[in-house]
Structure 1
Amino acid sequence: MVIIILIAITLILTAAVLVWNTMDKNSNSAIGSEDTAKPISSQQVKDNTVIVKEIVTNLNASSTTVIRVSLAFQLENEKTKKDFENLLESYVKGTIIQTLNDLKVDQIKGKQGSDDLAASLMNQLNPLFQNGKIKRIDVTDKVIN
C-alpha cells in the first residue's frame, strides 16, 4: 500500500513539474520574444510603422471629457502592414474608439494609462492578422479636455 502511494505521489509531482515548465516556457516566449529577436534598423521600423492621427472621442460614454489621441503601430512585417492598412478605416479605428469610450479619465492619464491603452489595443487587434502581429504601439499624442 505504501509503495502504491509513493508511486502515485511521484506521478503527480512529475505531472506538476511538466505543466509548470510548459506554462513557464509559454509566458517567457510571450514576454521575451522581442528581447531575443535580432535588432532591426531604424529604416525597417519606419517602413513597418503606421501612424493613426488624431482620433477624437469622448471618454466613458456618460462623460463630457474628450480625448484626442494619435498612435504609432509598429508591425512585424510588410504583409502585416498591408493587412493593417486594409482594416484601418473599418475595424482598427472602431476598436480604438470603443476602447477609449470604455475608459475613465483616471485610467488613461499618465504613462501607465498609455501603456494600458496600448496593451488593450494590442490584445484586441493582434488576432486579426494571419501574417504577423503588432509588435509595439506608441501613444504619440494625447490631449484630454
Structure 2
Amino acid sequence: MFKNRIFILAVSILIAITLILVAAFVLWNFMDKSASSANPADAAKTAASKVKPTKPPTAAEVQANTVIIKDILTNLSSNKNFVKLSLAFEMENAKAKTEFDHLVESTVKGTVVRILADVNPEQIQGSKGQDFLTSTLLNKLNPLMQDGKIRQIWITDMVLQ
C-alpha cells in the first residue's frame, strides 16, 4: 500500500514537471516571436511599405461623402450630466454614404446614445476625451458598414452640462 502511494506521487510529480516544461516551451516560442517584431521602427517601415499611396480626397468629395447628425441629446452615466452634440461622419465613397444614410435614424443614433450612456463627463472632456469618443464610435460603427467604411468622425458641436 505504501509503495502504491509513492508510485502515484512520483507519477503526479512527473506529470506536473512535464506540464511546466510544455508551458515554458510555448511561452518561450511566443516571446521569441514577439521579440523579433519588438523594434517599432522596423514594424513601421514594414507597415508603410504595404500601404498603397492614395490621393487625398478633394474638399468637394469630402462634402459629398459627409453625413451630418445634429443635436443628439442624452444623459451620461452619472445621470447628473448630459451632453448635446452634433457629429459629421466622413465616408469612403458614395455607396457608403447611401448605406450610412439608411442606418442613421436607427442604428447610428442608438449606438451613439449607448456609448454616451456608459461614459462619465471626465472621459469626454478636452481633446483626448473627444478622441476617445470618436475612436470608440468608429470602432463600433465601422463593423456595421458593408458598402464602405467611415473614414473620419468630427465632433462639430458639443455641450456638456
1:116 correspondence with 2:132: yes
Offset at 1:20? 3.8
4+ runs of 1 displaced by more than 3 Å? Answer: none
Structure 2 stretches lacking a partner, 5+ long: 1-28
Offset at 1:37? 2.5
Structure 1 stretches lacking a partner, 5+ long: 1-11
RMSD of aligned alpha carbons: 2.7
| Structure 2 residue corresponding to 1:39, chosen from 48, 56, 59 | 56
What is the identity, as a one-letter code, of the residue corresponding to 1:104?
N
| Structure 2 residue corresponding to 1:66, chosen from 82, 96, 120 | 82
Same amino acid, percent of matched pairs: 41
* 2:65 corresponds to: 48
Offset at 1:16? 2.9
**1:61-80 residue CA offsets vs partner (Å, 9 max, x unmatched):** x4221110000000000110
Structure 2 vs 1, CA of residues 103 and 125 (structure 1 numbering), >3 Å: closer, same or farther?
Answer: same
Larger radius of gyration: 2
Distance 1:64 1:28 in 2: 45
Q: How many residues align?
A: 125
Secondary structure at the aligned position of 1:50 is classed as: strand
* TM-score, normalization by structure 1: 0.77
